[in-house]
Chains A and B, each alone.
Chain A
């Protein structure tokens, strides 16, 4: 639990901001010249890292346009006769379209319900609170932060077979919502705590019900924390593999992560199609990262640290 506490304070300044740098410049008035030697070393290091990041992705990108015969002839060469057949094949044979829709459903539905749930709990715990029951329930939820997915998967699997939830959208969605509840409830509760009680009291005097207060006052005031929770959840759901791998088993229900694994895993050999499938799986996240660069960085650090 401690990490989360640490992490909350961190959240606002995880990302390198230009403003901060400028402020620092003014304060310190340091000269940026640090000696040619260290500069050369660090430029080299950063260029190597950038190259290491980009080159595999570039290779993946251009190789996915190579016809089968060229892939086998030379692994490094650029495509001589570029073709989009690989993409058509991956989309048709590999069911990438279906998987993408599934991933989209899992991510949006789970994130939506998760946010409503954790805000409801946070509101009840901080603004309607009952002295004895609230701490008990709060710490029960927080205990969930210590649980690893492996420790719940076997009973969950047996349960889902028994009630017929295995290999259904609902079966994976309930698992997704529950697994993100502890962290989300923690973040939401800490945030709602900071909203003054006087706002709620005066609204009560004006005759508003708790439900109205929740909907009209609390929800709009919590936009920043909702955004944080949503980013953490979206990235987690879109990339999640283990739960989906065990709880789904057909084309109709598999998300992209499992689908691309099934199609491009260690047992497959159709290289061209697989490379195209990997590009399809990777591209949405790349686009999101390029647009919401700062938020994604923040969310990933916050989400992984729990």
Chain B
């Protein structure tokens, strides 16, 4: 005898079976923890008893906003964002344009080469450059030859103001190819006859670039910039591998600041407050993207 169930209950049963396991996992790992983080940020967490006591109010948020380390981490995070917006994105754009307009041959090879660092994990990139800057590294050795000083070591990390500079260079090294590929994809979507028409009208290369291409891709540039900023509020591994945020907190970005309090000092309550601020900033940036997208109808990233 064949076991049959009604059409309606088969539908309900399949739906439940298909949706429930992923939903359960999602709530367990993301839904519940995010709410718990919000909750913990308003409590005093007792690490010994392992319990949270409600009633801290905005204590941790106030402490954070009064904390000089927080503002330093924010400053460094903005430097990371700045490297993207004023470094990776313009350079990536120019490289993409050069490839698109065929200023060079071997385009596939060059594109592959500039993009290669994006494929390497951020931890390996960070460690690779850590070794490059180390006393036995290629950069130090090169500088020793140039400066004719066999004991020279790179001291820029010890300078609080400039310690982010080598990190900015490594970020540029890794991510320029990423934006190049994004811009290339968008350039290829443009109607080729636009450039053709401009050329017939006698526009010079510079004019085509500045007056035709740049305005057409303005939306892509703005949205890439916001994505880059959101990304800089999430990045952790590369700087962690290079400097662990040190020396002291010279190269600390917001995620490392959060890690330091949550996991090195085990201040779960304070760490959660920092993480909530990170999420809030990221959500604001996404909303900004939505807003700009609506302003620039027809533009796509």
* Given A2-B286, A7-B301, A71-B136, A49-B110 contact (CB < 8 Å): yes
Which B87-120 residues sit within 8 Å CB-CB of chain A?
A: 94-95, 98-99, 101-104, 107-120
Is A147 within 8 A of B30, CB to CB? yes
Residue of chain A at shortest CB distance from B258: A150
Is B121 within 8 A of A281, CB to CB? yes
Residues of B within 8 A of A123 (CB): 18
| Chain A min CB distance to B206 (Å) | 9
Is A151 within 8 A of B28, CB to CB? no
Does B248 belong to the interface (CB within 8 Å)?
no
Is A6 within 8 A of B301, CB to CB? yes
- CB < 8 Å neighbour of A181 from B22, B118, B124, B237: B22
- CB < 8 Å neighbour of A75 from B120, B138, B237: B138
Binds B, one of A11-19, A80-88, A90-98: A11-19
- How far is B22's CA from A54's CA once the two chains are assembled, in angstroms? 42
Does B78 belong to the interface (CB within 8 Å)?
no
Does B217 belong to the interface (CB within 8 Å)?
no
Residues of B within 8 A of A174 (CB): 25, 28-29
- How far is B177's CA from A54's CA once the two chains are assembled, in angstroms? 14
| Chain A min CB distance to B140 (Å) | 6
Is A179 within 8 A of B236, CB to CB? no
- CB < 8 Å neighbour of A59 from B31, B117, B132, B283: B132
Residues of B within 8 A of A104 (CB): none
Residue of chain A at shortest CB distance from B204: A35
Residues of B within 8 A of A32 (CB): 102
Residues of B within 8 A of A30 (CB): 195-196, 199
Binds A, one of B53-61, B62-70, B160-168, B178-186: B178-186
Interface size of B by Cβ–Cβ distance < 8 Å?
Answer: 114
Residues of A within 8 A of B188 (CB): 13, 16, 20, 24
* Given A28-B192, A151-B278, A257-B121 contact (CB < 8 Å): yes
* Given A38-B205, A148-B233, A239-B121, A2-B282 contact (CB < 8 Å): no
Is A304 within 8 A of B34, CB to CB? no
Is A300 within 8 A of B111, CB to CB? no
| Chain B min CB distance to A289 (Å) | 5
Is B29 within 8 A of A146, CB to CB? no
Residues of A within 8 A of B223 (CB): 3, 6
Residues of B within 8 A of A148 (CB): 233-234, 275, 278-279, 282
Residues of A within 8 A of B11 (CB): 128, 210
Is A181 within 8 A of B258, CB to CB? no
Interface size of A by Cβ–Cβ distance < 8 Å?
Answer: 112
Residues of B within 8 A of A76 (CB): 138, 141-142, 145
Residues of B within 8 A of A252 (CB): none
Is B34 within 8 A of A152, CB to CB? yes
Does A74 belong to the interface (CB within 8 Å)?
yes
- How far is B136's CA from A174's CA once the two chains are assembled, in angstroms? 41
Residue of chain B at shortest CB distance from A150: B275
Is B286 within 8 A of A1, CB to CB? yes
Is A210 within 8 A of B182, CB to CB? no
Is A285 within 8 A of B120, CB to CB? yes
* Given A117-B21, A181-B22, A155-B121 contact (CB < 8 Å): no
Does B14 belong to the interface (CB within 8 Å)?
yes
Is B205 within 8 A of A6, CB to CB? no
Residues of A within 8 A of B135 (CB): 75
Q: List 16 A-B contacts (CB under 8 A).
A: A2-B290, A27-B193, A28-B192, A49-B113, A50-B109, A76-B138, A117-B25, A121-B23, A148-B234, A152-B30, A174-B25, A185-B22, A261-B127, A266-B241, A281-B124, A286-B119
Q: Which 6 A-B pairs have the closest CB atoms?
A: A75-B141, A178-B29, A239-B121, A155-B36, A152-B33, A155-B33
Give me 17 other A-B pairs in contact (C-beta within 8 A), A3-B227, A56-B138 excluded.
Answer: A3-B289, A3-B301, A10-B186, A15-B181, A27-B192, A71-B136, A75-B140, A148-B233, A148-B278, A155-B34, A174-B25, A178-B30, A179-B29, A214-B14, A260-B124, A274-B127, A305-B182
